[in-house]
Amino acid sequence: MVKLSVIVPFYNVQQYAPDTLKSLRANARDDFEFILVDDCSRDETPDILAQAERELPGARLLRHEQNGGLATARNTGIDAANGKYLTFLDGDDWLAPGYYDQLVRSIEKLDVDFLRTDHVQCTARARSIHRVPVGKRNQALNPRDVILPADRSTSVDYAYAWAGIYHRRLIDTGVLHFTHGLRTAEDRPWIWKLHREAESFAAVGLLGVYYRRGVASSLTQIGDVRQLDFIRAFDQVIEETAKDRDAARLLPKAVRTYCAIISHHLGSIERFEPPVARKLKAMSSAALRRMPQDILDEALDSMDAQRATRLRRLRRRSAPAGVAA
């Protein structure tokens, strides 16, 4: 039986894919499979992956005929996975040797639905360790219990899908798939769903994923219209959380986080193309008016003056006809 399925989407990452694949080789095991998803790359990535399928133990290559984005590529991998456990890696990141052995041992020992891990962020030559914002380590917890408090960074704000491992039963219960077609913030509805609907999780101080920050081809570095998918992603978080049995308790966190993300994008609006910047303002204004207004008032009152003023001004803005997420 396959113990672990590793799902790795690739899109136009010819510069980084060889390092990613080399690190997968250093993690290969007879009962591991590596599902490489080529999301319709237009550079040399397909050739690199074709060679990897021949040479990397346990590798399978799947190709998209059209580019679908990271969420869709991950779903392709999930649907093809045979493992008892699943994990993710992005095509421009890499791993420490033997990391997946430790990851599997950790989730087997703790016997939880999913496990969250720390990671190393790499920006050029700089390295920094980022920790899961969960105080209790190496013990089974209820994921619903770590969503709050609203005004602090919590486990739902640490939304990196590759910083963890997930039991197959989460597929069977419909929790593990991503929202099809989301081009950015695809991890946000996903991490909230995990914490609302899974029964158990744990955080461990295991380092082994190296996250490459500031890649020129990354959507976080490109100011085009795909960036605005964060609005659709957070609308989904609000909508689904509003239906939760603990909606009154959890919605303030969801609304405050949404506001913080809107403010973040507005604070760096110069990186967007002018038509996209205008659309960002219009869509964000409409999003603020869609939120539960009493909870929004509380969220704005709890924020610093600069962010609160920026968002209140945007909230009063008249939305053009037809603006939607």
Tens digit of pLDDT per residue, the chain (325 long)?
999 999 999 999 999 999 999 999 999 999 999 999 999 999 999 999 999 999 999 999 999 999 999 999 999 999 999 999 999 999 999 999 999 999 999 999 999 999 999 999 999 889 999 999 999 999 999 999 999 999 999 999 999 999 999 999 999 999 999 999 898 999 999 999 999 999 999 999 999 999 998 765 555 545 678 899 999 999 999 999 999 999 999 999 999 999 999 999 999 999 999 999 999 999 999 999 999 999 999 999 999 999 999 999 999 876 554 555 5
Q: Reduced to 3 states, what is the DSSP secondary structure of residue 146?
A: helix
The CA distance from 321 to 288, in Å, is 16
Amino acid present at 224: D
The CA distance from 224 to 188, in Å, is 20
Bridge pairing between strands 114-117 and 164-167 = antiparallel
The CA distance from 1 to 98, in Å, is 20
Question: Where are the chain's structural domains?
Answer: 4-220, 223-315
Class of the CATH domain delimited by 4-220:
alpha beta
Backbone φ and ψ for 130, nearest 5 degrees, come out as -115, 130
